[in-house]
Amino acid sequence: MFKIVCMLSGRGSNFKAILDNIQNSILKAQIVCVVSDKQCAGLEIAKQNNIEAIFLDPKGLTKKEYAQTLIKTIKPYKPDLITLAGFMRILDDSFVDAFEGKIVNIHPSLLPLFKGLNPQKQALEAGVKISGATVHFVTNELDSGPIIIQAAVGVFENDTPESLADRILKVEHKIYTMAIKLIIESKVAFTKITSGYKAEFKDTVQTRDFIINPLI
């Protein structure tokens, strides 16, 4: 069975969407544990579903020390994939290197636009008419790993960062599952190339697997 570790820091809505799609047999996988840097709702969802829920307190630890704690905790589960589902902490390079090619993240913008914190606010300030969400492999450069899938949503004149975030979240729940399914089915792979890394696809059709209408 394909084994997934979920890392989160908050309410766990993307984790719950992934879990629902496993329980509905859309994803042929098992979430073996959920790890959080905060005592949060996501951990409670894990406990309610009999999934190992682990709180790792970063207090008093350096970034590198915390990374080593994460590595020692997660490695025994032998994950095929680690999903960052709202994990609000920048990972140390040592963690990324330990699980190279096995970490994916979802970011609420159409990367490479609006990296980092508050991307919805950044989008509104820039005046873009379309924003969205991106699932990408994680590398040592923030929000810059190879892109797996993106979905677009409209940006409206009366939008606030909160209303735009809510609209984007709906497509996040869709495309995270789609990206994970591609990985499980070996239709996308993390590949090293001379200039860095790329997402290498096979047996996919762009209009079917990648494009989501911006009207929700």
Reported as a single tens digit per residue, the pLDDT across 69-94 is 999 999 999 999 999 999 999 999 99
Tell whether 89 is in a known binding site: yes
Overall average pLDDT of the 106-129 stretch: 97
Class (C level, CATH) for 106-216: alpha beta
State the pTM of this model: 0.93
What pLDDT does 204 receive?
A: 82
Tell whether 154 is in a known binding site: no
Spatial separation of the C-alpha atoms in residues 74 and 140, rounded to whole Å:
19
Overall average pLDDT of the 167-182 stretch: 96
Order the strands of the 29-36 sheet from edge to edge. Answer: 52-55, 29-36, 2-8, 81-84, 103-107, 130-137, 147-154
Name the percent of the chain lying above pLDDT 70.
95
Place of tokens 């991106």: 134
Spatial separation of the C-alpha atoms in residues 58 and 64, rounded to whole Å:
10
**Given a cut of 90, is residue 99 above it in pLDDT?**
yes
pLDDT digits (tens, 9 = 90+) for 193-204: 998 999 999 988
pLDDT digits (tens, 9 = 90+) for 121-153: 999 999 999 999 999 999 999 999 999 999 999
107 assigned to active site: yes
| Nearest CA among 154, 108, 111, 114 for reference residue 133 | 108
106-216 matches 1-99 in CATH topology: yes
Active-site residue, from 53, 67, 74, 107: 107
214 confidence band (pLDDT: 50, 70, 90): very low
208 confidence band (pLDDT: 50, 70, 90): low
**Given a cut of 50, is residue 165 above it in pLDDT?**
yes
**Given a cut of 80, is residue 41 above it in pLDDT?**
yes
206 confidence band (pLDDT: 50, 70, 90): low
Domain ranges of the chain: 1-99, 106-216
Tell whether 208 is in a known binding site: no
Tell whether 13 is in a known binding site: yes
What pLDDT does 155 receive?
A: 95
Q: Which CATH number applies to 1-99?
A: 3.40.50.170
What pLDDT does 205 receive?
A: 73
